[in-house]
Amino acid sequence: MPNILIIEDDAAFCQMLQKFLTKHNYQVETSFTAPDAKVKFSETNFDVVLTDLRLPDYDGIQMLTDIKEVNSKTQVILMTGYAEVGSAVNAMKKGAYDYISKPFTPDEIVMVIENALKARPSESLPNHGGVAKTSNTNSAKSNPIASQHTITGTSEASRKLAEYIKLVAPTDMSVLITGESGTGKEVTAKAIHDQSKRKDFPFVAVDCGAIPKELATSEFFGHVKGSFTGAVEDKKGNFEAANGGTLFLDEVGNLSYDNQIQLLRALQERKIKRVGSTQEILVDVRIITATNEDLTELVGKGSFREDLYHRLNEFSIELPSLQDRFEDLMLFAEHFLEKANHNLDKNVTGFSKEVWNAFKRYHWPGNLRELQNIIKRSVLLTAGDEVQIEALPQEVRQPSPKNKVRDRFSKAEFEKDRIIQALKRTNFNKSEAAKLLQVTRKTLYNKISHYKLDL
Handedness of CA 11, 12, 16, 22 (dihedral sign): positive
Strand, coil or helix: what is 71?
coil
pLDDT tier at 178 (50, 70, 90 boundaries)? Answer: very high
Closest CA to 221 of 144, 231, 93, 141: 231
pLDDT grade, residue 213 (50/70/90)? confident
What is the residue-averaged pLDDT of the chain? 83
DSSP state string for 193-234: HHTSTTTTS-EEEEEGGGS-GGGHHHHHH-B-TTSSTT--S-
Predicted confidence (pLDDT) at residue 406 exceeds the cutoff of 50: no
- The residues that bridge with 59 in the sheet, in sequence order, are 54
How wide is the angle at C-alpha 180 spanned by C-alphas 178 and 186, nearest 5°?
A: 60
In this predicted structure, the answer to whether residue 81 has a pLDDT above a threshold of 70 is no
How does pLDDT run across 257-274, given as a tens digit for each residue? 999 999 999 999 999 999
> Is 177 exposed, middle or buried, given 0-12, 13-18 or 19+ CB atoms closer than 10 A?
buried
How many whole angstroms separate alpha carbon 61 and alpha carbon 135? 15
Per-residue confidence (pLDDT) for residue 83, from 0 to 100: 46
Domain 3-147: CATH class, spelled out: alpha beta
Angle at 53 between CA 49 and CA 58, to 5 degrees: 95
DSSP state of 321: P
Q: Is the model's pLDDT at 137 over the cut of 50?
A: no
Phi (first) and psi of residue 319, to 5 degrees: -80, 135
pLDDT category, 151, cuts 50, 70, 90? low
Residue 414's pLDDT is 64
> How far, in Å, CA of 1 to CA of 75, rounded?
15
- Show the CA angle centred on residue 371, arms to residues 367 and 373, nearest 5°: 120
**pLDDT exceeds 90 at position 410:** no
| Interval 265-317: pLDDT, tens | 999 999 999 988 889 999 999 999 999 888 998 999 999 999 999 999 999 99
Structure confidence by residue, pLDDT tens digits, 331-380: 899 999 999 999 899 999 999 999 999 998 898 989 999 999 999 999 99
What mean pLDDT is predicted for residues 95-116? 79
> Against a cut of 0.95, is the pTM above it?
no
**Comparing 386 with 424, which gets the higher pLDDT?**
386
- Cα gap 173→287, rounded to integer Å: 8
Would you say residue 404 has pLDDT above 70?
no
Q: Quote the CA–CA distance of 360 and 232 in Å, as a whole number.
A: 54
Q: Does domain 156-318 have CATH number 3.40.50.300?
A: yes
Q: 201-226 burial, b for 16+ CB within 10 Å, e for fewer?
A: bbbbbbebeebeeeebbbbbbbbbee
The residue extents of the domains of the chain are 3-147, 156-318, 323-403, 411-450
Buried b (16+ CB within 10 A) or exposed e, 90-103: bbbbbbbbbbbbee
First-to-final CA distance of the chain: 65
- The pLDDT assigned to 455 comes to 63
Q: What string of DSSP letters covers 331-383?
A: HHHHHHHHHHHHHHT----EE-HHHHHHHHHB--TTHHHHHHHHHHHHHHH--
Q: pLDDT-derived band of residue 145, with 50, 70 and 90 as boundaries?
A: very low
Domain 411-450 has CATH 1.10.10: yes
Domain 323-403 in the same topology as domain 3-147: no
Please report the pLDDT score of residue 421 as a whole number: 78
Domain 323-403, CATH: 1.10.8.60
Residue 3 has pLDDT above 50, yes or no: yes
